[in-house]
Structure 1
Amino acid sequence: MSQTQDPAGGPVPEPRSEADGGAAADGAPGQAAEGSEQAGEQAAAAAGSEAGAPGQAARFTSAPDPARKAAQLAALAEAVRAVEQRDGSDGPSARSRATGPASTTGGEPQRPAAEPQQATAPAAPVLELPADALRATVQLLTHGGAPAAAADGLAKAALTALGEDAPALLQQDPWALLGLPGVRPEQADGFAQALLGPAGGPGDPRRGRALAGWLLEQAALRGHSALTVDELRAGLAKFSLPDADEAVQAAVEDGRILPYQEEETGPGARPVAEDEEPPMRLLFALERIAQAEEEAAEGLARLLATFTGDPEGADREDGAQGGIDWERAAEQAGSASAAALVRAVAAAPLVLHTGDAAALGESAALLRAARGLGLRVRAASWTDYGRQALGEPESVTLAELLGTVDRTEDGFLALDLLIVQDAPLLDLEQAATLLEALADGTRLVLSGDPGQLWSAGPGRLFADLLAAKACPVVASRTPDLGPIGELVSGIGVGELTAVEAPEKEVVILTARESGEAVHRAVQLLTDSIPRALGIPAEQTVLLTPGHGGPGGTRALNAAAKARLNPGPGRFAGFDPGDRVVYSPVPGINHPGRVAGGDQAGLRLRLDDGSELVLAPDRVDRLRHGWALTVHQALGRRWPAAVVVLPEEAAAGLTRQWVYTAFGRAERHLSVVHAAGPALAQAVAERPAAPRTTRLRGLLAEQAQQG
């Protein structure tokens, strides 16, 4: 990396004494924290307040009885068998699904559709809630300790989630409050104690059941699709339950969580002899996530099973006979990597294509080849930036693909080949929706960089497919040129090395603490980079691990706004001209600017050219956008990026995060570094925050059955 200097070539000025401090740290930094914090804050806002829940932290101190552990583990296995027998299955096999009871909400779990990026989004409809039920719920919550300012919003969330009987249901089971957005266990405990008195103790079965479900919800925010029995037990043990295993068993019997048994796989699995039974692990999952993971596995298996290749005697578009000439298309692809990709797609229905920005040319070559062969083909990108970067008329965003592309009479996408860019960003629910839309025999290429951060939602589809070796993999051999590409490539293999940057493509600045890092980052954004490199502030992004803390997005955005667009925040804290990012759901982020506001809401002009009126009840989904977390930046690149590494982020850094953050820059990368030795340690020693998933086991099970 280059020497510490300002991009303009001179010394870096010392920070002003009034450097912005920012909000207090409200979430651990790093990959998992930034995704879960964003989701948690949006959920809390939906409930009416970030504090938003009643009661004081209850201080339970009961200790579990060690003598009962072996018996409880056996009881858990018995619970798995009981659920299977109740649903008519023959009991667990080497990899058996223990199908749980029907959802208590009725019907199948609904996957929210991706919001179109190039259409004005309507304001969220106002849900009509019964006045009597709302008043009764507010009274109950206030009696349970909810702050008056938060009770109304929390009551609306309770009625939305639980229905008109919410007051009676909460009176019957106070810990049901834990299922509402933004509520934490200590708040639910305080609410239960206020309603039940001494009877609301730590060993109440209702408490254990609610905590088991809450822990799986929190795990999903961190990307896990399931938890092992040991992980779930360890999480429950932190809440002073008399017996964690008993709570898990109760949650299974109640249907709140579903148990699964599968063979242990992966690098940590114990090797076994040929005549030895493979080691098994017991997993627990929420129904909607388990169903999405199974649907994704089934969709992949269906594409593999229904592929028959191209008919030998099919007419080609050029009038020649003899089928589709894939080999000729490969020879004309333009590079060895593109030719390998064309040949792989010719032979297989599912292909993984790995590579960074330079690999876009190979996807574009495949798209042109398929078009020339007369196939119906589309390339779907995560963002409008990705669509434009591919530069092909058949390229659309993923939202456009699912919303506007032609369908067959059976409702499938009218495609012979689909290329999905940024495939590592697909979570399980999105993947299941996409695969459900593909007809039998459709070819699918999942393309992306395996080194970047995974999806904001649960699962690691792309990584699990790579590990399962379920289909051909074509690795791009096209090098990422320039100092930034050299630096990022080294990080990808665990090496943080110095690179030659004669045109100041890479600049590293050190800071003593987070306040200084904020000052230097904003100085780079507003002065040094525009002056020295000619890249305006509008084309530069500030990136940091999390929203909270003295070096998070809140502190950076406040400092950037003060320099670039000062104002009183007339519209819910925003002013015309503010750079913003709109996140309708976690993982979907639309950058833009505030154009104005009135009683109807905030008028936004998004970077993709569309306009949006954001109703007042949706403003909680809007943030200032000079500074983003790296998860918010996924699927995009900027001419210049300033990556801020605050001291409080040190423990949460991973190689995956650093690789992704540094790779957001096209022409210039500045790193404001206050994390000490943690940066080098993360690159060398911490590849990624682990995720517990079931997809690899499901794919192996289906391969055996096939």
Structure 2
Amino acid sequence: MSATENNASEETSTAPDAADTAGGGSGGGSGGALSGAEKAAAVAALAERIRTIGQQEGGPAPRTPRKPQAPRPDAEDEGPAGAAAPDEQTGRGAQDADGRDAPAGDAGAPVPAPAAPRPAPVRAETDEQRAQALKDTAEVLTAGGAPADLAPAAVAAFGDGAAEQLRADPWAVLTLPGVRPEHADGFARGLLGPAAGPGDPRRAQALVPWLLEQSALRGHSAVEIGEVTAGLDRLGLPDAAAALQAAVLDGRAMPFQEELTGPEAHAAGGDEDEPPTRTVLALERLALAEESLADGLVRLMSTFVPGEDRDETEDADETEGATETEGATEGATAGDDAGTGADADTGAVEGAAGADTAEAAAPADPGPAAWEAAAAAAPSTSATALIRAAAEHPLITHTGGEAARAEPAALVRAATGLGLRAWAATWTDQGRDGLAALADGPLQVATLAELLAGTAGPGRSSDGTLALDLLVVLDAPLLDVELAATLLESLADGTRLVLSGDPGQLWSAGPGRFFADLLTAKVCPAVASRTPDFGPIGELVSGVGIGELQPVEAPDKEVVILTAKDGAEAVHRAIQLLTDSIPRALGIPAEQVVLLTAGHGGAAGTRALNAAAKARLNPGPGRFGGFDPGDRVVDSPAPGTVRPARVLDGDAAGLHLEYADGARRTVPPAEAARLRHGWALTVHQAVGRRWPGAVVVVPGDAGAALTRQWVYTALGRGERHLSVVHAAGPALPQAVAERPAQPRTTRLRAILAENAAQAY
């Protein structure tokens, strides 16, 4: 598998052959080849029918407030049998990679009845019941030719009745990790025999959400209907149109019709009187997350009330009035004491104390003059601009590189000085510590995970929202739509929210492109930093940001470019830099140098690099689940979250780790699968962190995965030194010049354009 296995496996898994579909059948129900115009017309007819269904069922995706979700399970590895992992989203993959359109079937066919919903899982109440459920499920899996190792995942997904559910619906196995359609088809044939046909309604019921989930792994929060139809066609489903209509009817997919704007509208044709539209499908959780996110942003903008200046006369009058009121209250209390006794007195005192407490807890309300004074005292013109924007607006985007992070720090310090409850949130612990070091004095900062979990930060108000007046979120491009929606639901009405990040860096591990969509929608002020990243590395990265990969002057060897003829030579050169050249010539220890590459597999992927680094730096048999004391590892507790650590020891309790921040933790054997060796990381794993030295390996087989966004992020991970081991030939400068980013289909920009215009 290539170094870019994140989409290689998808590109090589097209429609299953006849054996994989229990007898096969052509993709599509038209009975013959269709011309391009006929395919387009069939897809358009299907889109119109689904739109009609959506209207009959009450319209698409009501804007229902979304409850915060628990962190998603780790999916950092390849995902379903090599599918794109969340930390390696560099392409769309096979389901939408080729340009074929699928026949959509007869446009006049009746709307099919929805498939019966799968029952809710029933959980085992005792250890004995769970053990029996695991045993029964393993037997069913084995009978169908599936690995018995899937039993725990099946019981976790389907509950105590997993065995019965898999017997009744073998294609339900497709929802389990590592299972692809060809595997599910084989399992169904093993249980059902010849009855497991490619057109089985249960197969159609499973394939539609599977395709949408695969698209979510590649970063899409919605998928155009033609792409889903083509994917079903490639999977050998006889009637893709009927499957899509059934999925819409029973709620497994939610349809939306949107008007196209800008370049998309121009490419699609149409005119001013009748603008072009597209129909997209989305999983319910992602559709509601984007709706909730948009609602949250509009809520902050519509409930914000800026403070007003108060002169000394008003303050004196209010103080005098408060004194008179206090005197009257004391007199009334004394009179009550004479007539009703001590109980009344106690109640009056407690009530006054409660009022005083509420008044003391009320947030400050600085006016324009106070904000302007704080802005004038800011350490840079860009920080001044950011503080002035925060004085007048509740929602702001701030863009800039590493050096620009000092500006949000200055804003939080200024807001705290004005009496506001102001905090900053970063993506990683390293980002948290680095931001605190940039501030001119103490800074209230936590990681976003700590803030939302309540382990650090201001705590929660009585209504459950964060006790904040202003929140600055750094590394905002890394927020997927679900996490961003959870964040917005945690903010009270009128809270100021500043989203800061580098728009040139890679997007989130999860679906969506929240920060990019917000910038494009232009529904709030955008403050662009004028603070450049200095030095040869900063100059190189800045050039990549505008599409130019040019050599830079590096008198102290801050930047070194090396070439390699193939993956094996690239690994050899990278290990030589890590273990010898950089420590010897620059004084940067190997422990402070990271190897970065495009993917986990291939001749120069993380597996090959980590194996070579371990053999050189910490050889050993891997006696603790493949690890030895002294190994560098990375812990991935959730998609897009990576924590570097070092193995201290291991025993029956698990692996004992020491993290980069000095914290220690024992990872139990059941969770050890989420650990990887950590000398080499993918660039997606490295976002939000920097190292004194970085060696970026660009394999020759990574050409299709390379984008300007990937290169920009990779080259910016080094603080003092950057080495590039380059084996991709002209593909690297071509990607920088011509391929800004792998596209993602989302709905947020359209929702914001529709609903946020009046709020801004």
TM category, shorter: 0.7 to 0.9
1:489 shift after superposition:
0.4
1:273 shift after superposition:
8.5
- Give the corresponding residue for 2:48: 77
Equivalent runs, 1:505-584 vs 2, <5 Å? 505-584=558-637
Is 1:487 aligned to 2:458, yes or no? no
CA displacement 1:349-368 (0-9 Å, x = unmatched): 11100001010111121122
The answer on whether the counterparts of 2:307 and 2:366 sit within 8 Å (CA) in structure 1 is no
- Give the corresponding residue for 1:94: none
- Give the corresponding residue for 1:120: none
- Give the corresponding residue for 1:394: 444
1:179 shift after superposition:
0.9
1:274 shift after superposition:
8.2
Distance 1:57-1:655 versus aligned 2 partners, 3 A rule: farther
Greater fraction of residues in helix:
2
Match for residue 166 of structure 1 among 162, 173, 177: 162
The answer on whether the counterparts of 2:368 and 2:391 sit within 8 Å (CA) in structure 1 is no
Is 1:301 aligned to 2:278, yes or no? no
Partner Cα separation in structure 1 for residue 300 and residue 126 of structure 2? 40
Distance 1:560-1:548 versus aligned 2 partners, 3 A rule: same
- Give the corresponding residue for 2:203: 207
Is 1:62 aligned to 2:58, yes or no? no
SS at match of 1:189: helix
- Give the corresponding residue for 1:259: 255
RMSD of Structure 2 on Structure 1 (CA)? 2.8
The answer on whether the counterparts of 1:205 and 1:250 sit within 8 Å (CA) in structure 2 is no
Letter in 2 for 1:580: V
Stretches of structure 1 that go unaligned for 5 or more consecutive residues are: 1-23, 38-54, 92-96, 116-124
Partner Cα separation in structure 2 for residue 510 and residue 544 of structure 1? 15
Output the TM-score relative to the length of structure 2: 0.79
Distance 1:625-1:58 versus aligned 2 partners, 3 A rule: farther
Equivalent runs, 1:53-452 vs 2, <5 Å? 60-64=24-28, 65=30, 70=41, 73-86=44-57, 89=58, 97-98=60-61, 110-112=69-71, 128=127, 130-146=130-146, 150-151=147-148, 153-270=149-266, 276-313=273-310, 325-391=370-436, 392=439, 393-402=443-452, 403=454, 404-405=456-457, 406-452=459-505
Partner Cα separation in structure 1 for residue 177 and residue 290 of structure 2? 23
- Give the corresponding residue for 1:15: none
Partner Cα separation in structure 2 for residue 451 and residue 170 of structure 1? 45
287-296 or 127-136, which deviates more: 127-136
1:79 shift after superposition:
3.5
Partner Cα separation in structure 2 for residue 273 and residue 284 of structure 1? 22
Larger Rg, first or second structure (1 or 2) = 2
Report the count of equivalent residues. Answer: 636
Q: Which structure is richer in relative contact order (CA contacts within 8 A, separation 6 or more)? A: 1
Distance 1:26-1:258 versus aligned 2 partners, 3 A rule: farther
Quote the sequence identity (%): 63
Stretches of structure 2 that go unaligned for 5 or more consecutive residues are: 12-18, 75-123, 316-359
1:56 shift after superposition:
6.4
585-594 or 254-263, which deviates more: 254-263
1:221 shift after superposition:
0.8
SS at match of 1:371: helix
Partner Cα separation in structure 2 for residue 654 and residue 275 of structure 1? 34
Output the TM-score relative to the length of structure 1: 0.85
Partner Cα separation in structure 2 for residue 260 and residue 172 of structure 1? 32
The answer on whether the counterparts of 1:601 and 1:614 sit within 8 Å (CA) in structure 2 is yes
Partner Cα separation in structure 2 for residue 682 and residue 444 of structure 1? 34
The answer on whether the counterparts of 1:314 and 1:321 sit within 8 Å (CA) in structure 2 is no
- Give the corresponding residue for 2:114: none
SS at match of 2:555: coil
1:607 shift after superposition:
0.7
SS at match of 1:418: strand
1:428 shift after superposition:
1.0
1:650 shift after superposition:
1.6
CA displacement 1:631-682 (0-9 Å, x = unmatched): 1111011111000011111221111000000000111100011111110110
Partner Cα separation in structure 1 for residue 638 and residue 27 of structure 2? 39
Distance 1:327-1:127 versus aligned 2 partners, 3 A rule: farther
The answer on whether the counterparts of 2:460 and 2:466 sit within 8 Å (CA) in structure 1 is yes
1:244 shift after superposition:
2.2
CA displacement 1:221-244 (0-9 Å, x = unmatched): 111101011121222222122232
SS at match of 1:414: coil
Partner Cα separation in structure 2 for residue 273 and residue 560 of structure 1? 57
Letter in 2 for 1:77: E
1:442 shift after superposition:
0.6
1:60 shift after superposition:
2.8
Letter in 2 for 1:170: L
Partner Cα separation in structure 1 for residue 718 and residue 48 of structure 2? 50
Partner Cα separation in structure 2 for residue 445 and residue 466 of structure 1? 12
